[in-house]
Amino acid sequence: MRKVAVITWLLVLLTTIVALFWHNEWVYRLPTPVPNNYRRVEPGTAINENNKLPFTTNKPVFLHFFNPDCPCSRFNIPHFKSLVKTYSHQITFAIVPVTRKRITANEILKKFGFAIPVLFDSTLAATCGVYSTPQAVVLDTNRQLYFRGNYNRSRYCTDKKTEYARMAIDKLLHNNAAIIFDQFALKAYGCQLPKCSK
């Protein structure tokens, strides 16, 4: 009798764990709700109005919108680090923290393990049309919006076929032509701004 009770308890525990993982995956696959006051920003829109961006280089700019409280942002850190490692000689990278929590640039950079600019500008998200984290924004050399979207279709950024941010960088660096992506690249998935609600 005791053996049956233990086996039943273990099955209930295992079922609960599987259900929690399934629920998290299902929630992640749902797009982040678009805010009521959202203003879409089209590719080609000038982003550097009023000198919001403190970069003097002629290189394209990659803005990483990051919320330290968002699990999706945390899962994305290794993927973002690989982009910086691969393209930092051709692209200027910066992290844009979007959180209500007080956090310093050093605390942010400690999570990433390298020194790149951290921009504490709460208006940049709206300027670029970002309402979810993590999101990638790629600006061309004229500081016009080239790409705003997801890093990858996979929650852990492991799907090589849907490395949207990397594809956008490669396309911009090689021919600067307009890019066409599927709905998973351009719909926001992750945590709503300014706080994580997923």
User: What would the two tokens of residue 142 be?
Assistant: 């004229």
Question: Has residue 11 been placed in a domain?
Answer: no
User: How far is it, in rounded angstroms, from Cα 57 to Cα 34?
Assistant: 34
Question: Has residue 126 been placed in a domain?
Answer: yes
User: What would the two tokens of residue 171 be?
Assistant: 């396309």
DSSP E strands, the chain: 61-66, 92-97, 132-133, 135-139, 145-149, 191-192
Give the CATH number, domain containing residue 114.
3.40.30.10
- What average pLDDT does the chain have? 85
User: How far is it, in rounded angstroms, from Cα 9 to Cα 90?
Assistant: 56
Question: Has residue 10 been placed in a domain?
Answer: no
SS3 state of residue 55:
coil
149 near 164, Cβ under 8 Å? yes
pTM of the entire structure?
0.83
CB contact set of 41 (below 8 Å; sequence gap of 6+) = 127, 128, 129, 145, 148
Question: Has residue 72 been placed in a domain?
Answer: yes
Distance of CA 53 to the CA centre of its chain: 19
Question: Has residue 27 been placed in a domain?
Answer: no
Q: State the residue range of the domain holding 128.
A: 49-192
Rg over alpha carbons for the chain, rounded to the nearest Å, is: 19
pLDDT in tens, 110-135: 999 989 999 998 889 999 999 999 99
Q: Is the pLDDT of residue 177 over 90?
A: no
Question: Has residue 24 been placed in a domain?
Answer: no
Domain count, the chain: 1
Question: Has residue 5 been placed in a domain?
Answer: no
Q: Is the pLDDT of residue 2 over 70?
A: yes
pLDDT in tens, 3-49: 888 888 888 888 877 666 655 555 556 778 888 888 889 999 999 76
Question: Has residue 35 been placed in a domain?
Answer: no
67 near 97, Cβ under 8 Å? yes
